[in-house]
Homo-oligomer: A and B are copies of this chain.
Amino acid sequence: MTDLILTTYDWVPKLPRGLVRDLRVRWALEEARLPYRVESTPFRDRGPAHFAAQPFGQIPWLTDGDLTIFESGAILLHLAEKSPALMPTDPRGRAEVLEWVIAALNSVDLPSQPWALFRFMGFPGEAPEAKFVDDFLKSRLDRMETVLAGREWLVGDRFSVADLLMADVMRQVERFDGLANHLACRGYVKRLVARPAFVKAYNDQMAHFAAADAA
C-alpha cells in the first residue's frame, strides 16, 4: 500500500495549536493504524499549488495514490472506507456514521465555529448577532446533551469516526469553557480525548508546529 500523505501548514501561531484541523485526520489515521506521513505547506505564502489542492487556501488535504482530497470531513469519510476501526461495514452502521458526521459538521460545528471564532477575536458579545449565535449553539448542545446522556457512542455500541469528529468539534467549544452547562457533552469529549490515538495526534501536531518555531 502506498503511504497516505497528510498535508498541513508548516507553522501556525500559538493560539490555534491543538485545534488545527489536521489533528482530526492524524487521530483517524492513528485509530486505524494506517501508514502515513505528514508534509507541510507554507502558512504565510499560499501559492497556486496550495489553491490547486485546497480551493479555499486552507488545510488539511490528503494524498492517497493519485487522489488528493480536501475538507477534513471528506477525508474522514474516505479513511472510514479503509478501516472497520473507523466505521462499521453493515448498511445501517454506515448510514448512521454518515448522518452523524454530517450532523457534526452542519448542525453542531455550524454554530460552534462562529461562537468560538467570536471568542478567539475577543468580541464584546453584546450585539444581537452575538446573542443569536449563543442561543443557536445552546439549542444544538441541549439536543446533543439528551443524545449523549443516553449512550456512550453515537453509532451502535462502539467508537466510530462520527465520535471522533463530534468530539473534535466540541473541543473548540470546551476550549472557551462552553460545555459548563452540558455535562454529558463534556464527559463525552473527556472520554474521547483520553484515547491513545488522540493523545498521539495531539502531541504530534504540537511537536510539528514547535519544530517550526525552533527552525
Contact = CB atoms under 8 A, between A and B. Distances in A.
Interface stretch (A12-20, A108-116, A181-189): A108-116
A22 to B, nearest CB: 15
A105 B103 contact: no
A69 interface: yes
Contacts of A69: 95, 98-99
Interface residues of A, number: 49
A21 to B, nearest CB: 10
| Oligomeric state, in copies | 2
Given A71-B99, A95-B67, A98-B74, A129 B140 contact: no
B107 A110 contact: no
Leading 9 A-B pairs by shortest Cβ distance: A127-B127, A71-B102, A74-B99, A73-B102, A74-B102, A105-B106, A129-B129, A74-B98, A129-B130
Interface stretch (A3-11, A118-126, A191-199): A118-126
A147 B55 contact: yes
18 contacts: A51-B146, A56-B143, A58-B107, A69-B98, A69-B99, A70-B99, A74-B102, A74-B103, A77-B98, A77-B102, A78-B95, A111-B114, A114-B133, A123-B127, A123-B128, A124-B128, A127-B128, A129-B130
